[in-house]
Amino acid sequence: MQGYRCCVSWFHHDDFVDQFDGLVPVSDRIFVVDRDRLTCSGEASSAHPAAFLVERHIGRVAARKSLRIMIIPEERAGDDPQPGLPLDLKTRDPLVRKALLHVQQNLDVPPGVAEVAARLGVSRRKLERHFREALDQTPKAAFLRVRLAQVRLLPDRSDRSVTQIATATGFCDASHLIRAFRQAEGVTPAAWRGRGGAAQSLDRST
């Protein structure tokens, strides 16, 4: 893969960089096509580059049919964001995407706006301007949405307390998470999960 772009899940981005010196992964896309190399972020996302190949060599109808057979409702483009980011944060602005990715990779100790701007080598004002133009919201608001999105996506959350989830997503305690979640979603984490048919409540102590 030397000299090629490769797609890696945002969750494994830092581990990949540590293990494979000189390779720079793309972690804000579903899959990447670079000349004769096609890579994806893993697991279920592999269906989408497969559909991409079917469409290229056979046709769009066959590609959509292949996804329906796998009970996947629609195809995803390679530059669609990886799961974990709310739909209202979808953007093609590279600076905004890198900022959101950095927050997503550091959920347990979420960086502030100034820290993210410094990490990306831009001024805070420039970062805020890009967020306003791309998403019509501040970086601070967008970063909070990234963390709240991860609350909904944490695996095995049925056996995690709200305190554990708060720690994993950078909230100072369970009360802080519940307040932020209610303000954004209109319900508590427990009520939100109950709507999904979960058997146990998030709001129980460790």
* Span 132-182, pLDDT tens digits: 999 999 999 999 998 888 787 664 445 678 888 888 888 988 899 989 988
The last residue of one of the domains, among 97, 113, 143, is 143
Q: Is 195 among the domain residues? A: no
92 and 61 belong to one structural domain = no
Q: Is 194 among the domain residues? A: no
pLDDT at 199 over 60: no
Number of domains in the chain: 2
Q: What is the pLDDT of residues 81-128, one digit of tens each?
A: 565 566 678 888 889 988 998 888 788 888 999 999 999 999 999 999
Q: What is the pLDDT of residues 39-52, one digit of tens each?
A: 887 766 777 788 88
Judge residue 49's burial from the number of C-beta atoms within 10 Å of its C-beta, 0-12 exposed, 13-18 middle, 19 or more buried: buried
Query: Which residue range is the domain that position 116 belongs to?
Result: 87-143
Task: Tell me the two tokens of residue 104.
Answer: 């997503």
Cβ proximity of 147 and 171 under 8 Å: yes
The last residue of one of the domains, among 41, 69, 97, is 69
User: DSSP E strands: which ranges in 4-129?
Assistant: 6-7, 25-26, 31-34, 37-40
Helix 94-104 / helix 124-135 crossing angle, nearest 10 deg: 100
Cβ proximity of 170 and 108 under 8 Å: yes
